[in-house]
Amino acid sequence: MDRKTALRKTGNTILILSVFILTVIYSSTSFAMTREEFLPKIFQILEYTLPDKNLTQTENDLTTMDAVRLSLEAMGWDFVITAYGRATLLPEWSEKDPLYEIASNMSPPLPKQLLASFGKPFTEDKMPILSEWIANCKKNVSWKASFKSDGTELILKKRGVGNPNSSANGDLEKGVNEPLYIAMLAIDIIEVPSQIISAVMIGSEKATLSTIANENYNVVGAINGGYFAGSKPVGILKTQGRMDNGKFHPKRSAFGWNKEGRAVFIDGEMTDDISKNKSYDIYTEILQAGPLLIKNGRVVDNSEMLNENILNKRHPRTLVGTDGKRVYWAVIDGRNNMHSVGATIQETRKICLNLGLTTALNLDGGGSSSIWWRDFTFTSPSNKSEEERPIPYAILMFKPGTPVKD
């Protein structure tokens, strides 16, 4: 082989190698999608669009993690990310990544190919896999997580995909895969001392749930209670063995308990004035609300003289129930067509049965509904201001061993 031929072959080899290297570099970087390229494809699958301000801003090409975050936000799961993020601010879960934990534990879960490349560039070849997952989520999607501390268990549940073109309360007739978010605190009331605490005890007629919780000692969990007018409770309210409000509301049901772990659901249709019935004196805490939702594992068809709006329209709901072992304090978020549409009383009854509760009582809902746990609120306020509504009292759950007044 002469020198000229050898040089030509060497040159061809270098050219082929250069083309190969450039191809590898081009395929690994140039096809990484941008936010502007990605979002129209997502909206096409979901069949709606969202304002740009509702979605996380990204400056560079997307990673798989970015693509998953934008997908979840587009489906109305941004508050789930926020709630899980609040849990990871606590030391026990500080090493967990909210996006990864949510995506891997959803049903359907994010495909393994995408989970394995979470921090890598999101290239066009991954788009069909993500698109199929989103399409499956549109049909049916759910998620559940729990966090345990100091005798309490915070349980978060989410299902469905939002619809920005629907009403804030969703579609009662359709009701398929609509967004619904539930936060619960499950406790053993023998282990976890629980009391009704008035805002007056911290120097105010009304205060937000987080304020009442933070102003008391050793509190691990908190939730809003029964109905009120102005700053006055509606119906019986007994706290620390003393009647804060002794006026019985006819036909309305109630829930009572004491530090020995005795608890009772009082059926408003089956009892007279609680304040005059000595058999209830053993309960140091009693709050009256209504209606009773389920009793002994069966739906209670009882309006308890509440108006049509409360009963048959969707609202945020607060409730207390039991599965025979623990007491569950729960909030169903509402009035948000992307996050959670709320529930009617009949829907709340079905939700209670699905949660495994055997007896449950509806408490005050709407803008008052809120759950607080270990310094953070795990529900989304339904008020237009998106801030907590001040309430006259709250149910506080204290760390085991905390002395409480009789």
Q: Which of 136, 116, 106, 122 is nearest to 70 (CA)?
A: 122
Predicted pLDDT at 176? 85
What would the mean pLDDT of 101-112 be, rounded to a whole number? 98
What's the mean pLDDT when you consider all of the chain? Answer: 92
- The values of phi and psi at residue 43, to 5°, are -65, -30
Comparing 26-30, 113-117, 347-351, the range with the smallest average pLDDT is 26-30
DSSP codes of every residue in 116-185: TTTTSB-BGGGHHHHHHHHHHHHH--EEEEEEEETTEEEEEEEE----TTS-TT--TTT-SS--EEEEEE
Q: What tens digit of pLDDT does each residue of 355-381 get? A: 999 999 999 999 999 999 999 999 999
- AA identity, residue 378: F
pLDDT value at 112 more than 60: yes
Report whether 394 contacts 195 (CB < 8 A): no
DSSP-assigned beta bridge partners for residue 158: 143, 181
Higher pLDDT, 71 or 276: 71
Sheet holding 219-224, edge to edge: 194-198, 393-398, 219-224, 371-373, 376-377
CA distances from 364 to 63, 234, 312, 373 (A): 43, 10, 15, 19
Comparing 103-112, 242-251, 377-386, the range with the smallest average pLDDT is 377-386
Report whether 252 contacts 268 (CB < 8 A): yes
pTM: 0.92
pLDDT value at 16 more than 70: no
User: For residue 10, what pLDDT band results from cuts at 50, 70 and 90?
Assistant: low
Predicted pLDDT at 27? 46
Predicted pLDDT at 22? 46
What would the mean pLDDT of 298-311 be, rounded to a whole number? 94
Predicted pLDDT at 17? 53
Q: What tens digit of pLDDT does each residue of 149-187 get? A: 999 999 999 999 999 999 999 998 877 899 999 999 999
Q: Please give the DSSP secondary-structure letter assigned to residue 208.
A: -
pLDDT value at 96 more than 80: yes
How long, in residues, is the chain?
Answer: 406
Predicted pLDDT at 392? 97
pLDDT value at 391 more than 90: yes
Report whether 388 contacts 377 (CB < 8 A): yes
